[in-house]
Structure 1
Amino acid sequence: MPYTSVLARRYAHGLLGVVRTGGRLPETSQELHRFLDLFTENANFREAMLNPAYSARERRELLDQVAPQLNLSSETTNFLRLLIEKRRMENIGEMVEAFDELYRQEAGIIRAEVVVAEDVSPELENRVTQVVQKISGKTPEVLVQKDPSIIGGMKIRMGNTILDASIKTKLERLREKLIEPSTAS
């Protein structure tokens, strides 16, 4: 695991410990994402937060200006202040990702990435959600992605488990079976 990933998890664990007692896990995740959106989409803001030419005090003042606009709680704002003080703001994306992962574990939520060739109906998405819940025993957070290269069917990825029912994979397996006997003779 890379150093920044270990670092991101350490900071995320710390924040989780602070907000867990108040039951503010979903709200904190949303607040972090609002801040991250501003950080990634606004080049001037990102530059000001990362540029060592600005003092920590100036960066904290900038944070204090945007915190009310982003509706950030004191816990989230204090966490971001800590990142400014420790010069860790460049890792904010990884920290938000690590926090979300810990939050999902804590809340019994599993992320399921579903890859399909074409747009899916809400009914099919609901059926996939039910299947994922039945298999995992957790509340699924389903993310649907379109990839025409799979031709048809779908792939479902839940953590380290991949269920591949794509036509592309079935054709590849069929091809391997057809080629295998001819290479053995």
Structure 2
Amino acid sequence: MAEPSNSGGSIVSGVAGRYASALFELAQETGAIDAVAADLSTFEALLAESEDLRRLVGSPVFSAEEQMSAITAILAAAKIGGVAANFIKLVASKRRLFLLPAMIRGYRALVAQAKGIVSARVSVAEAPSEALLAEIRTAIAQAAGAEIDLEVKVDPALIGGLVVRVGSRMIDASLRTKLNSIRLAMKEVR
């Protein structure tokens, strides 16, 4: 299988990227891409919720055996099995658990690339309604000509409007930027 690429280069790199690529290839061969993605998302949610789990994953003081034992129990309790569970256990046994969040991001990037999904990030001053969110998603999908994986970030400093990032492109239609532009124009007039 050809290595996934983005403009001729790999979209994931380093140790975490190699693990993510290996996991993606295995998930692809076994037809479990979406199941693995769902299980990794479940584990990532557990990681976000638990300071103890973050400490277990990130701290070098725990031995491989301690990490394996704890991870095995956590995976069983969370009902994470199959390829994702075996992968997480392998990572723990190799003392690379601290790289797991980067591996998960790398896996997601490979899945998105394989499915032709474009990542977009929208920053807004306040949480949008579901109807507005659907309009934003539709507009970005039409502009990008692809399915969108939308991340919404609330940033009250924007005052109003929104900032959209799709790949390397950014559209800043925030009130903060408009006010700053007016402020600069007023200084130039003096």
Aligned-residue offset at 1:154: 0.9
Once residues 11 and 46 of structure 1 are traced to their aligned partners in structure 2, the CA distance between those partners, rounded to angstroms, is 20
- The answer to whether structure 1 residue 167 and structure 2 residue 175 are counterparts is yes
Aligned-residue offset at 1:149: 1.6
Once residues 117 and 45 of structure 1 are traced to their aligned partners in structure 2, the CA distance between those partners, rounded to angstroms, is 32
Any idea what SS the aligned residue of 2:30 has? coil
- Alpha-carbon spacing, 1:44–1:139, altered in 2? closer, same or farther (3 Å): same
RMSD after superposition: 2.5
- Alpha-carbon spacing, 1:96–1:55, altered in 2? closer, same or farther (3 Å): closer
TM-score normalized by the length of structure 1: 0.82
- The answer to whether structure 1 residue 87 and structure 2 residue 73 are counterparts is no
Aligned-residue offset at 1:142: 2.1
- Unmatched runs of 5 consecutive residues or more in structure 1: none
- Alpha-carbon spacing, 1:44–1:117, altered in 2? closer, same or farther (3 Å): closer
Q: Could you tell me whether the CA contact under 8 Å between 1:36 and 1:92 is conserved in 2?
A: no
Rg comparison, structure with higher value: 1
Alignment identity in percent? 27
Question: 43-52 or 128-137: which moved more?
Answer: 43-52
- Alpha-carbon spacing, 1:67–1:156, altered in 2? closer, same or farther (3 Å): same
Q: Could you tell me whether the CA contact under 8 Å between 1:19 and 1:25 is conserved in 2?
A: yes
Once residues 67 and 161 of structure 1 are traced to their aligned partners in structure 2, the CA distance between those partners, rounded to angstroms, is 38
Once residues 116 and 46 of structure 1 are traced to their aligned partners in structure 2, the CA distance between those partners, rounded to angstroms, is 29
Aligned-residue offset at 1:119: 3.0
Give the equivalent residue in structure 2 for 1:152.
160
TM-score normalized by the length of structure 2: 0.80
- Alpha-carbon spacing, 1:54–1:158, altered in 2? closer, same or farther (3 Å): same
- Alpha-carbon spacing, 1:163–1:78, altered in 2? closer, same or farther (3 Å): same
Give the equivalent residue in structure 2 for 1:98.
106
Give the equivalent residue in structure 2 for 1:121.
129
Of residues 159, 177, 185, the one that matches 2:185 is 177
Of residues 26, 29, 54, the one that matches 2:63 is 54
AA aligned to 2:169 is: T
